[in-house]
Amino acid sequence: MNVAILIASENYADPNEKLTAPNKDINLLESKLREYCIYDRYMSLLISAGEPQRGAKQKVEDIFVQLIVEDIENILFYFSGHGYHNATHESFLCLNDLEDLGIKEVTEWIIALSPKSSCIIVDACESGEEIITEYGGYADDDSLGFFGIFASTPTTSAFAYPNSSLFTSAFCEALDDHSLYTNNQLSISRIYEYINHIFQLKGIAQRISIQGAQKDVQPFALWRKAPPHCKAPFVDPFYMERSDETHLINKLLKEGTLLLCGDTKVGKTYLSLSLAKKLWRKGYDFLQTNNLDTARNFLSLTDHPRVCLLDDPYGSWKTFSDSNRHKIVSDIISNKPITNLLIITSRKDIILEIFGHSNLINCKEASVDWQEIYSEKDVLIQAWEIYSSLMGLSDEKITEYIDYLNSSESILNIGNLKTVSTMSKDDIEQKALLDIVHLSQIDAKQQAGIYLNNKPEIWDICCVMALTCNTIDRVTNNDIAFILHNEISFN
């Protein structure tokens, strides 16, 4: 029997220690394990806020007692909540304000069940634990081993937000990514590498740790079904799901094509990737491209269902010059197999210019309407809470931006907030809010397109500036003439 034990606690009286993510964490992890991994039994326990402070530890122990008579092949133990490391270098899980559960105790309870493969997963502060390496009985060649992966080290913290804990979210993202699997098996070491990579990409200063009772870490979980034929669409770990996604998925499945437009940085691509990933989980192959021929070729195949994201095929600036592209897009929509799905994104102003109308209702691609996407205030506020916490901004500055997002004057979209999150903490703390808002509106790619498309000579000027910036061995005017125009001499 393969067993998953999932424990979460939100029962902490101190307002400063209040957690709301653990319940969501175990629900998310259980749903992913059920979707991808082979576990015969799920034993979940949520220690809710307001429960009696005594008896939680006994409830956890009772779960293990129930399993004594079972033949356990694989056991996974997960905890989400508070944790701490004491003076004798032992890590503890805080079940509530009065009761703790040592990771050493958990290890002993698991070993008493004599499983062949075991894994402890802990999403809590100060939870890295060396005790697992002490059990040599689980290091021989006949055992798959005893392993642990932790959201922190004995001296570091784990980050949690109202809707999710970063470690658990990244762990579930790893389960989603079939490219991490070998022969349908996913090892703890690969998950550890994946989470580290994601945290580094996002600039998350959270140190995770891994422990094992043997050098060669064996897979701990199996896919329940054959993996998809392609890599999963990449959805930002901090992506906040919109309220209209179910409606848009149903529309795409019904009509076969979904056209999404909106303002710059409103989140068209983020949304499209989220929709595509839902379909990928149902067995669709996925491709993201802005190349019309690539999209056409991908959608022409019928070996299995496919979904293509044709992202911004009309470019990122106005002055639409290639009218043939519009005809090709319509042709792709009209002639693709009905089993394959197509999502196309573009800016609203570009669509209006292409069709020569002032109202989107008059703009259609092969009789398909364009759907305008707007920012959702709740999504923006949740995203800002995450970004600002990661940046370590003051409570006053966080509140100032939340008040602005709630106001009718707000012009920020999700892409603008992403831009703000890349700015330095000092800039945001010291500069006026409206100055930061203005900076977040600047789209360098769009500006470059406008200038270079309308005034090609600007490209020559930029090249000259770049070439002449070397003051030690600078190029001559004749060199520049030859480079830019293939002329022998400069006149």
Q: What are the structural domain ranges in the chain?
A: 2-222, 245-373, 377-444
Pairing mode, strands 285-289 and 257-262: unpaired
Write the CATH number of the domain with boundaries 2-222: 3.40.50.1460
Average pLDDT over residues 243-265: 95
pLDDT of residue 135: 45
Domain 2-222 matches domain 245-373 at the CATH topology level: yes
Range of weakest confidence among 108-122, 127-141, 165-179: 127-141
* Rounded Cα gap, residues 240 and 382, in angstroms: 7
Q: Are 238 and 204 in contact (CB under 8 A)?
A: no
Q: Where are the alpha helices (DSSP H) in 392-485?
A: 395-406, 414-421, 425-430, 433-441, 444-454, 457-467, 477-485
pLDDT of residue 463: 72
pLDDT of residue 451: 59
Average pLDDT over residues 334-357: 92
pLDDT of residue 455: 63
Phi/psi at 49 (nearest 5 deg)?
Answer: -60, 135
Most confident range (mean pLDDT) of 52-56, 136-140, 330-334, 448-452 is 330-334
Fold of 245-373: Rossmann fold (3.40.50)
